[in-house]
């Protein structure tokens, strides 16, 4: 067997004909930016997430960056203010903070639930704390009642990074509708992925949505009248048309991810490898399936030899990156251990039952000593 980590060709082929038709319509229509396809997708995605507004942007990092920028324009956050952020996240979450001249305050995570350490959240509050970026990493919902009341009691903006959790549900509400605003990425490998870059912001806040839309379009309030020093960050018509097709199948695709994840949880049995706590169905959309083992590199090598390709999310946490030298002295023990022990198994909607069984059997036969 040869199992790639993510088979995008097979994933696209699941809805291939409809995607081809949608792309052909845009190509033939001759209108490629700021047209009907984006408008339609924005409406459908807002309805799906359960917010009043959706603004399509160029990618997920821009969604995050523009959101903080808009809050600065609104006077809700100022230069040098602090933003609480999980230490265990993809670097883009942090880049959006520093790009805006704000200070990331890294919070360690719980080793089993992978959600935020509440004690550390409390202890990290200062008079400059203005917002919490909540990341539903790996597709796991990290929102809960404690997070809600923590933000409410301390007057913090709650910003969801929903790049990895499209379709995830917390008590009948979608992630992406739980805080003040949410940022989404449609990078091809995400649960809802385009055929290139794409992103969106969802919110009930009309003023915020308008400002983000304006900044993403040169800062124009109306054509050629700039209210902000803006930039160009727009979702294009081809990507919107593709996303509109794939949105119709997102729940179905997530259900298939759940079936694969259930098989992994039921049958992976390996004393040196542990899985994060199993979450209630629907509260995890399994964007990434992480396993943790102190023998991570040996396991990855062994699986590779057996034709199973895995990835590491993420080998270097943001606070240990060279570009964040000023935070390199920090110690965030759980995040640092996860970075040493994490291995992501293949998990996507086009993975076959035979591939899933092979991955389970192969992993279960790994001997850390023999296979080292």
Query: In this complex, which beta carbon is closest to ligand PLP, that of residue 135 or of residue 208?
Result: 135
Residue pair 181/167 in contact (Cβ under 8 Å)? The answer is no
Query: In this complex, which beta carbon is closest to ligand PLP, that of residue 164 or of residue 202?
Result: 164
Beta carbon of residue 96, minimum distance to ligand PLP (angstroms, whole number): 8
Q: How far is 326 from 322, CA to CA, in rounded Å?
A: 9
Query: In this complex, which beta carbon is closest to ligand PLP, that of residue 179 or of residue 199?
Result: 199
Q: CA-CA distances (angstroms) from residue 239 to 125, 217, 244? A: 40, 17, 8
Query: In this complex, which beta carbon is closest to ligand PLP, that of residue 163 or of residue 343?
Result: 163
Residue 62 belongs to what H/E stretch? helix 60-73
Q: Which is nearest to 133 in space by CA: 167, 107, 172?
A: 107
Beta carbon of residue 146, minimum distance to ligand PLP (angstroms, whole number): 21
Beta carbon of residue 344, minimum distance to ligand PLP (angstroms, whole number): 12
Beta carbon of residue 54, minimum distance to ligand PLP (angstroms, whole number): 15
Query: In this complex, which beta carbon is closest to ligand PLP, that of residue 60 or of residue 230?
Result: 60
Query: In this complex, which beta carbon is closest to ligand PLP, that of residue 288 or of residue 330?
Result: 288
Helix then strand count (H, E) for the chain reads 13, 13
Query: In this complex, which beta carbon is closest to ligand PLP, that of residue 136 or of residue 270?
Result: 136
Beta carbon of residue 122, minimum distance to ligand PLP (angstroms, whole number): 24
Beta carbon of residue 11, minimum distance to ligand PLP (angstroms, whole number): 16
Q: How far is 142 from 163, CA to CA, in rounded Å?
A: 13
Backbone angles phi, psi at 123, to 5 degrees: -70, -20
Rounded CA Rg of the chain = 21
Minimal CB distance residue for ligand PLP = 60
Residue pair 342/316 in contact (Cβ under 8 Å)? The answer is no
Query: In this complex, which beta carbon is closest to ligand PLP, that of residue 199 or of residue 346?
Result: 199
The C-alpha torsion from 226 through 184 and 100 to 317, rounded to 10°, is -160
Question: CA geometry: angle at 37 spanning 35 and 42, to 5°?
Answer: 100
Q: How far is 249 from 319, CA to CA, in rounded Å?
A: 37
Beta carbon of residue 19, minimum distance to ligand PLP (angstroms, whole number): 19
Residues that bind ligand PLP (CB under 6 A): 59-61, 89-90, 92-93, 135, 137, 161, 163-164, 185, 187, 197, 199
Buried b (16+ CB within 10 A) or exposed e, 260-269: bbebbeeebe
Is the CA virtual torsion 243, 245, 248, 250 positive or negative? Answer: negative
Query: In this complex, which beta carbon is closest to ligand PLP, that of residue 19 or of residue 95?
Result: 95
Query: In this complex, which beta carbon is closest to ligand PLP, that of residue 89 or of residue 203?
Result: 89
Beta carbon of residue 190, minimum distance to ligand PLP (angstroms, whole number): 6
Beta carbon of residue 63, minimum distance to ligand PLP (angstroms, whole number): 7
Q: Which is nearest to 53 in space by CA: 220, 236, 203?
A: 203
Residue 243 CB neighbour total at 10 angstroms: 27
Beta carbon of residue 95, minimum distance to ligand PLP (angstroms, whole number): 9
Question: CA geometry: angle at 180 spanning 177 and 184, to 5°?
Answer: 55
């Amino acid at each position: 067997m040869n199992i790639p980590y993510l088979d995008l060709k097979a994933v696209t082929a699941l809805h291939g004909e409809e995607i081809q038709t949608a792309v052909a319509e845009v190509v033939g229509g001759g209108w490629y930016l700021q047209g009907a396809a984006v408008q339609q997708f924005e409406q459908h995605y807002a309805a799906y997430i359960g917010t009043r507004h959706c603004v399509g942007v160029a990618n997920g990092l821009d969604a995050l960056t523009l959101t903080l920028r808009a809050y600065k324009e609104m006077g809700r956050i100022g230069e040098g203010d602090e933003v609480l952020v999980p230490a265990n996240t993809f670097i883009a979450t942090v880049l959006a903070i520093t790009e805006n001249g704000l200070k990331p305050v890294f919070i360690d995570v719980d080793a089993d639930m992978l959600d935020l350490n509440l004690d550390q959240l409390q202890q990290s509050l200062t008079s400059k704390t203005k917002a919490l970026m909540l990341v539903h990493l790996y597709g796991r919902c990290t929102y809960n009642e404690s997070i809600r009341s923590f933000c409410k009691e301390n007057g913090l903006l709650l910003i969801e990074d929903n790049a990895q959790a499209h379709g995830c549900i917390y008590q009948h509400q979608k992630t992406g509708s739980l805080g003040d605003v949410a940022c989404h990425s449609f990078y091809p490998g995400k649960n809802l992925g385009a055929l290139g870059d794409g992103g969106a912001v969802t919110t009930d806040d009309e003023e915020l949505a308008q400002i983000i839309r304006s900044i993403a379009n040169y800062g124009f309030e109306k054509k050629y009248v700039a209210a902000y020093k803006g930039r160009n960050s727009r979702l294009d018509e081809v990507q919107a048309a593709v996303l509109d097709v794939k949105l119709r199948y997102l729940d179905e695709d997530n259900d298939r991810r759940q079936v694969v994840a259930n098989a992994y949880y039921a049958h992976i049995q390996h004393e040196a490898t542990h899985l994060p706590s199993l979450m209630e169905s629907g509260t995890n959309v399994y964007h990434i399936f992480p396993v943790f083992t102190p023998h991570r590199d040996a396991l990855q090598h062994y699986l590779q030899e057996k034709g199973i390709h895995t990835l590491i999310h993420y080998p270097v946490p943001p606070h240990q990156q060279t570009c964040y030298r000023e935070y390199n002295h920090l110690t965030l023990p759980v995040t640092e251990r996860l970075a040493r022990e994490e291995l992501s198994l293949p998990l996507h909607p086009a993975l076959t039952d035979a591939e899933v069984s092979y991955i389970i059997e192969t992993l279960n036969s790994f001997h850390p000593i023999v296979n080292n």
